[in-house]
Every structure is written in structure tokens, then in C-alpha cells.
Amino acid sequence: MSATSTFKSGTISLEENGIVYFRSNADEVHDKQDLITLLDMMEEANNGKPFLLMMLVKEHQFLMTKEARNFFNTYKKAEQLIMAEAVVINSTPTRILYNLLTKLHSPKFPFKAFSEEADAVNWLNTCSTASVNNS
């Protein structure tokens, strides 16, 4: 595992499985500049290469301002770097809501919410394989 970086209420690291992790340590509302900084740190963690992203927010909320959500949906750098994103959360209703909102907002990369980290890792690995096969 590479070094762990800290940003606001969470940590960012590149794990041995090749996935960039963000672990939330407290409830936090993120604005546009926070998202730019987070993505830059994730890019650095993976040496500037596109990556699979795991957001572990099981015990804490990772919230974004409306401006941040709108920005992130059109941020070209995110489209270029994030191959797929999995979010792991405790709440089944929240997981269902995340997946429903994904269908409505059509992110530019595969996105799915899970209640178990192992399921999220398996899904991200299939996204990685699909991405390599489509190259």
C-alpha cells in the first residue's frame, strides 16, 4: 500500500488491489474546490493514471453542495481519471437512493452503491476488465 494522504474528513490511499480508496472519518459537506482537490490527490496517489475509486462512507456521510454535484457531473478531469466508482454505505435505503439517482443523472463513468466492500471490489474489478477489453 502506498502512503496515505489526509483531506478534511477522510484519507486517500492506493491499496494493493490497485484501487484508490477514500475513507470518510466524519460527516462532511464538500464544495466544488474540495472535489477538485480530492481528485488531484487521488490522481497523485495513482501516479497520474486513471483509477478505480472506492468511497467507504459506511459510518459517515460524504455530502456535496448542489454546485459541487453539478460541477462534478461535467468535470472532464473526473471523466478522464475515474474508470469506475463504488460507494460502500451502511443504509439500504441510502444505497437504493444512490443507485436510483445514478440512473437519473447518468454519470460519465460506471457508478454503483453497495453495502459490502467485497461486493464493491468485485464489481470494480469487472469494470477494470471491461475497460481494458474496450481499449
Q: What is the pTM of this model?
A: 0.82
Q: pLDDT digits over 32-59, tens only?
A: 999 999 999 999 999 999 999 999 887 7
Whole-angstrom Cα distance, residue 35 to residue 75?
A: 10
Percent pLDDT > 70 in the chain is 84
Which residues make beta-bridge pairs with 53? 20, 85
| Rounded CA Rg of the chain | 14
Q: pLDDT digits over 73-108, tens only?
A: 788 999 999 999 999 988 777 767 766 766 666 677
Q: For 5-133, CATH number?
A: 3.30.750.24
> Amino acid identity of 104?
L
Query: What is the helix (H) or strand (E) element at residue 39, kind and residue range?
Result: helix 32-45
18 φ/ψ angles, rounded to the nearest 5 degrees: 85, 10
Is the dihedral angle over the CA atoms 93, 95, 98, 102 positive or is it negative? negative
Residue ranges of the domains in the chain? 5-133
Whole-angstrom Cα distance, residue 60 to residue 107?
A: 23
Is the dihedral angle over the CA atoms 54, 24, 11, 63 positive or is it negative? positive
